[in-house]
Chain A
C-alpha cells in the first residue's frame, strides 16, 4: 500500500482539542467532525486538504483526550497518513484501531516542509520527499500490529482471535 500527497506541517504537541474541539463532540458523524478538523490552529486546512494528503508533525502528536473522533476527523478529511517524531499513546492506539496509517520517523521530520510532495510505502516504511529527493525509512510496526492492520482493524482482529 502506498500514499502520495501534499504535506500539511505542524509542530510539537498537537493536541486532540485542536484536532477536533470538544464543542463539536456532540455528534459522532465523521463528515461533520471532519468539517472542523484542525480549525483552531489551521483554519484553512479543511478548505485546502485533498484526498491522499499527508500530515507531518514533530513530537507527541495527538496528546490529550482519548477521543477517537480525532483520528476519525483526520481520516475522513482525506489524510492518507500522519508522520510524526512521536505520537501520544491513546492517539497511536486509536489510529491503528480505526485504520489511519501513522508512522513514527524522527529522522524524516526536519527534512519535510509544508507543501512538499511526499510518497510513503507502508510495506517498506520508506518515506520519500518527492520535492527535495530525500528519503528515510520509518520503523515498521511490530508483527502483532501488522496482523491487526491486515485484519483491517481491531474489531476483525478480535473477532478472529478471541471470539472464534
Chain B
C-alpha cells in the first residue's frame, strides 16, 4: 500500500509496515517539548503518573520563552516550577535565560531535530520541524505529560494535501508570502486534521529558513503537520547542527492525496493577512492605505537570520517613521550574535528600532510590545486573532519581514518593491 511521507514516519515509529489514513496508533517519540506556559500544567499532570523519572532525560526539551525574561511574579512562579522540575528530573535540554531562544528556532539550531524524527510539543507551532523532514505536531499539556512519562503518544493517521511547487520567488517575496497565500486559498480550516506535504521542483529554490516559516504556519490552516522532502539543503543544515545520522523518508510516487494544489512560486506576491484571521489575505497590490502604529519583526515564524538580513537591507541608512514603534526580536542567542557580527543590530538601532532579547512576548500579547485600543501592528508573527497582541480593539496585520520593514519606514503597510535601497 502506498503512503505519504508523514504516514511513513508514523508507521516506522509505531513499528508497523504500513498505516492508513484514519487509523489510530500508539507511537514512540524522539522528542517531547514544552514551554513556560504549557509545561507547568504538564508537570502537575506528570505527577499523577506516579513515576520517578521522564522516559529519557535527553528526549525532553523545556524552553522558558513565552513570558521570559519573567514579565511578572506569576510568570516567574511558572518558570520556577519548570526550572525545578528540570533540575529534579535531570532534563538535559533545559534552556535557561542566556542560552534560551524561541523554541522552534532553538531546537533545530541545537541539533535536537533530525530528519525522520517523531516530535510532539505542547505548543501549536511545533509543526515547524517538518522543514527538516520530521513529523512534528502540537499537542496540549496532558499529552506532553504522557509523552514525558511513557515516550509515547496516540495519533490518528492523517490524510494529506499536496502542494506541488514550481518556479522561484520574485525579489522581496519569501516563504511567509507563500504560506499566507496558501492559507488565504484553503482557509484556516482548509487542512484540518491533515498533513500538508510540499513537493515539486520549486522546493529547491526555498531556503531552509523559508521552509521553517512555511511549516510553522501549517497549523494556521488547521493542519496536523507540514513537511518538506529531505534534499541537499535540508541535509546540509542537519550536517551543520545535528550529530545524528538523518533518516530519510519519502512519499511513495503513488501516495494518495486528498487534493493537489499547483503553485508557481514566481506568481506569489508579497501577501498580508488582515484582521482577524490568517486566511483574510490580500496581496500587497490590494492593501490600500493602512496606517500603522507598530512593527514587530521576529517570532518562531520569522526571527531567523535571513529574516533579519532582509529587514536590515530595507532599513539600512534610513529612519523608522516617527509615528511607528519598531521592535526586532532575533529568535535565539546564536541568531542575535550572528546579527551582531554582521552589523544588522547596529542598522536596526541606528534606524530607530528597538532590538529585544529572544522572547515570544509580543506575538501572543504577553509583554514587550502590547497594543492599545485602536492601534494597528504589522507583524511577522503567525496569528492576528481578536486581542492577540493586546487590547481587544487592536489589530494585527501579518506579513513578511520585507513588508514589515518597509512599513516601518513609511507608517503605512508598504510594498518593499517601492523602497529604494541605500
Q: Which residues of A are interface residues toward B (Cβ below 8 A)? A: 13, 15, 17-18, 21-23, 25-28, 40-41, 59-60, 63-69, 71-72, 86, 88-90, 93-94, 97-98, 142, 144-145, 153-155, 158-159, 161-163
Residues of A within 8 A of B51 (CB): 163
Contact between chains at A86 and B74 (CB < 8 Å)? no
- Per the bound structure, the CA–CA distance linking A21 and B142 in Å amounts to 20
9 CB < 8 A contacts A-B: A27-B78, A28-B44, A28-B78, A64-B383, A90-B140, A93-B139, A142-B24, A158-B150, A162-B152
Given that A88-B189, A163-B49 are known contacts, is A66 also in contact with B122, CB under 8 Å in the complex? yes
Contact between chains at A23 and B366 (CB < 8 Å)? yes
A66 to chain B, nearest CB (A): 4
> Out of B145, B154, B192, which one reaches A86, CB within 8 Å?
B192
B248 adjacent to chain A (CB < 8 Å): no
Q: Which residues of B are interface residues toward A (Cβ below 8 A)? A: 24, 26, 37-38, 40-41, 44-45, 48-51, 66-67, 71-72, 74-75, 78, 121-124, 126, 138-143, 145-146, 149-150, 152, 154, 188-189, 192-193, 219, 222, 224, 277, 364-366, 383, 385-388, 392
A44 to chain B, nearest CB (A): 14
- Other than the given A65-B364, A69-B41, 7 more pairs (CB < 8 A) read A17-B383, A25-B37, A25-B366, A26-B67, A66-B126, A89-B193, A145-B24
Residues of B within 8 A of A66 (CB): 38, 121-124, 126, 138-140
Residues of B within 8 A of A18 (CB): 385-387
Contact between chains at A155 and B45 (CB < 8 Å)? yes
Nearest B residue to A59, CB-CB: B189
Contact between chains at A22 and B224 (CB < 8 Å)? no
Residues of A within 8 A of B145 (CB): 155
Residues of B within 8 A of A27 (CB): 74, 78
Contact between chains at A67 and B37 (CB < 8 Å)? yes
Contact between chains at A28 and B41 (CB < 8 Å)? yes
Residues of B within 8 A of A26 (CB): 67, 71-72, 74-75, 78
> Out of B71, B126, B154, which one reaches A144, CB within 8 Å?
B154
Contact between chains at A67 and B140 (CB < 8 Å)? yes
Most buried by A among B48, B142, B224: B142
Given that A13-B188, A22-B364, A60-B222 are known contacts, is A158 also in contact with B383, CB under 8 Å in the complex? no
Given that A13-B277, A63-B222, A155-B45 are known contacts, is A163 also in contact with B150, CB under 8 Å in the complex? yes
- Per the bound structure, the CA–CA distance linking A28 and B45 in Å amounts to 12
A108 to chain B, nearest CB (A): 18
- Per the bound structure, the CA–CA distance linking A158 and B150 in Å amounts to 8
Residues of A within 8 A of B138 (CB): 66, 90
Nearest A residue to B141, CB-CB: A68
Contact between chains at A89 and B192 (CB < 8 Å)? yes
Contact between chains at B41 and A68 (CB < 8 Å)? yes
- Per the bound structure, the CA–CA distance linking A71 and B142 in Å amounts to 12
Given that A68-B41, A88-B192, A97-B140 are known contacts, is A155 also in contact with B365, CB under 8 Å in the complex? no
Contact between chains at B386 and A154 (CB < 8 Å)? no
A76 to chain B, nearest CB (A): 13
Residues of A within 8 A of B72 (CB): 26
Contact between chains at A41 and B386 (CB < 8 Å)? yes
- Per the bound structure, the CA–CA distance linking A154 and B146 in Å amounts to 7
Contact between chains at B386 and A60 (CB < 8 Å)? no
Contact between chains at B152 and A65 (CB < 8 Å)? no
> Out of A21, A67, A69, A163, which one reaches B365, CB within 8 Å?
A21
Nearest B residue to A24, CB-CB: B74
Residues of B within 8 A of A67 (CB): 37-38, 140
A57 to chain B, nearest CB (A): 12
> Out of B71, B140, B222, B366, which one reaches A68, CB within 8 Å?
B140
- Per the bound structure, the CA–CA distance linking A153 and B123 in Å amounts to 20
What are the 4 A-B residue pairs with the smallest beta carbon separation, nearest first? A94-B140, A68-B140, A26-B74, A97-B142
- Per the bound structure, the CA–CA distance linking A162 and B152 in Å amounts to 8
B25 to chain A, nearest CB (A): 10
B267 to chain A, nearest CB (A): 28
A163 to chain B, nearest CB (A): 6
Contact between chains at B142 and A98 (CB < 8 Å)? yes
Contact between chains at B222 and A88 (CB < 8 Å)? yes
A33 to chain B, nearest CB (A): 10
Contact between chains at A155 and B189 (CB < 8 Å)? no
Contact between chains at B26 and A162 (CB < 8 Å)? yes
- Per the bound structure, the CA–CA distance linking A96 and B38 in Å amounts to 17
Contact between chains at B124 and A154 (CB < 8 Å)? no
Residues of B within 8 A of A145 (CB): 24
- Per the bound structure, the CA–CA distance linking A162 and B38 in Å amounts to 23
- Per the bound structure, the CA–CA distance linking A64 and B386 in Å amounts to 12
- Per the bound structure, the CA–CA distance linking A144 and B142 in Å amounts to 17
